[in-house]
Amino acid sequence: MSRHRTLSFNALRHMMICTGLALLLVSIGIPGGPGYAQKRVKPEVVLPLDYPDGFHGFGPIDALDEDWIVIGDIFMELSPLVTFHTPTKMNSDIDDFNTGDRVGYLKNSEGEIISLWLIP
């Protein structure tokens, strides 16, 4: 009788290990949803009508240079073709942006900022 219980226990253990491995393999193969797409977020302020419907990110400017920017402690590179926008001037320049200003940004597929928007 003990031999029968040993065989049943080994069979059950084998079945549980195989089931666990099968679930692991299935969960690895399922993509995490639309997490690969660049999502846009919208700050909770009233934006001018000519602003985009959302941004890839937003926050305060911590540091700014001609080639890079730090927004909310995140270092990002600026595209060579980056455009700057304020509520009163759709095509402004980098001089209109200062440390501490709250901005929204759009990025290209390489992760570079292609447009920077001053949030009023």
Question: Does residue 103 contact residue 116 with C-beta atoms inside 8 Å?
Answer: yes
Please tell me the distance from the alpha carbon of residue 49 to that of residue 36, in angstroms, as a whole number.
29
Q: What is the pTM of this model?
A: 0.65
Region label for 111, one of left (φ > 0), alpha (ψ between -120 and 50) or beta (otherwise): left
- The amino acid sitting at 4 is H
> Exposure of 104 by Cβ count < 10 A (0-12 exposed, 13-18 middle, 19+ buried)?
buried
pLDDT reported for residue 30: 65
Please tell me the distance from the alpha carbon of residue 108 to that of residue 100, in angstroms, as a whole number.
24
Q: What is the token pair recorded at 56?
A: 């890839």
Q: Which of 108, 95, 41 is nearest to 64 (CA)?
A: 95
pLDDT reported for residue 86: 95
Question: Does residue 111 contact residue 82 with C-beta atoms inside 8 Å?
Answer: no
pLDDT reported for residue 24: 76
pLDDT digit string (tens) for the chain, length 120 residues: 556 566 677 778 888 888 888 787 777 766 655 555 567 777 778 888 899 988 999 999 999 999 999 999 999 999 999 999 999 999 999 999 999 999 999 999 999 999 999 998
Question: Does residue 96 contact residue 84 with C-beta atoms inside 8 Å?
Answer: yes
Place of tokens 């080639």: 67
